[in-house]
Amino acid sequence: MKKDTKVNAGILIIGNEILSGRTQDTNTSTLAKWLNSIGVKITEVRIIPDVEKDIINTLNFLRKNNDYVFTTGGIGPTHDDITAQSVAKAFDVDYEIHKEAFKILESYYKPGEFNKGRQKMTWMPKNAELILNPTSGAPGFNIDNVFCLPGVPSILKSMLGGLKNKIVGGEPILSHTISLRTVESEIANSLTKVQNQNKDVEIGSYPFFHSGKLGVSIVIRSENQSKIDICKSQILEFVKEKKIEIVER
């Protein structure tokens, strides 16, 4: 595998409501599934509060160490929405009204309803490119390798389609899952042997509890289908020897 076929990303979840436990983050999972499907591997996720210096420092670290960074949260109209101004500071560029965003929201709202709060959502880092929002008007934005999305999960999801042309992925990461009616400790040694014989394949083992029964899902991940197939056959071999039942999941 050549290095240049690997593309990676960091995710930055911004919001006190996640850190207080009030809100269950689901955007990580949404972004992770989508990015994996287009061949972008997530290196790490950080969840931080709505604090300017934290946003600036974390963003500057992540954008230097990843091909892409995706932020969620903090781009709405209220006082606690400080992502756009913090991103402008991180890039050391002006924070100003984005003319195109202004036009979009001016025509989105009824005459007289485009108030100061709503206008705040058109303030962005200078030269940001818009990420269109088919759900609720207010766009996200992209500057260099950083993509800023809203925190509301349904709105975020609706905006991913518009990002496809902006993100160039690597080879898609393929995966195969084998679910077994067993417990991890029954297969741990055999699985270790398979992993040691296939060091560049990622083999994960995940216990589950479903319909009142315990089981383990083994997930094999690689950019290379034939490598997955080799692991799969080695795993099925010890599964057969141990007379472990394979289950649908």
* CA-angle at 150, arms to 145 and 156, nearest 5°: 90
Question: Which residue among 4, 24, 211, 241 contacts its own copies (CB under 8 A)?
Answer: 24
DSSP H/E element including 102: helix 99-108
- How many residues are present in the chain? 249
CB of 114 to its own copies, least distance (A): 9
- The contacts of residue 62 (CB under 8 Å, 6+ apart) are 10, 12, 44, 46, 69
* CB nearer its own copies, residue 45 or residue 93: 45
Binding span for its own copies by CB under 8 A among 85-93, 122-130, 184-192, 223-231: 184-192
d(CA 139, CA 130): 6
Q: Does 48 bind its own copies (CB under 8 A)?
A: yes
Q: Does 25 bind its own copies (CB under 8 A)?
A: yes
Question: Which residue among 7, 36, 89, 228 contacts its own copies (CB under 8 A)?
Answer: 36
Which residues in 156-166 are b (16+ Cβ under 10 Å) and which e? Answer: bbbbbeebeee
Q: Does 67 bind its own copies (CB under 8 A)?
A: no
* CB nearer its own copies, residue 129 or residue 171: 171
Q: Does 117 bind its own copies (CB under 8 A)?
A: yes
Q: Does 18 bind its own copies (CB under 8 A)?
A: yes
Beta carbons of 79 and 73 less than 8 angstroms apart: no
Q: Does 19 bind its own copies (CB under 8 A)?
A: yes
Q: Does 198 bind its own copies (CB under 8 A)?
A: no
Between helix 52-65 and helix 83-91 the angle, nearest 10°, is 50
CB of 176 to its own copies, least distance (A): 12
Q: Does 98 bind its own copies (CB under 8 A)?
A: no
Give the distance between the most distant pair of CA atoms in the chain: 74
* CB nearer its own copies, residue 31 or residue 124: 31
Beta carbons of 63 and 43 less than 8 angstroms apart: no
* CB nearer its own copies, residue 127 or residue 208: 208
Between helix 184-197 and helix 225-241 the angle, nearest 10°, is 140
* CB nearer its own copies, residue 143 or residue 179: 179
Q: Does 171 bind its own copies (CB under 8 A)?
A: no
CB of 177 to its own copies, least distance (A): 8
Comparing CA positions, the residue from 158, 155, 125, 157 lying closest to residue 59 is: 125
Which spans of this chain sit near its own copies (rule: CB under 8 A)?
A: 13, 16-26, 28-36, 41-50, 54, 76-80, 115-118, 120-121, 152, 154, 173, 175, 184-189, 191-192, 195-196, 202-207, 209, 219, 221
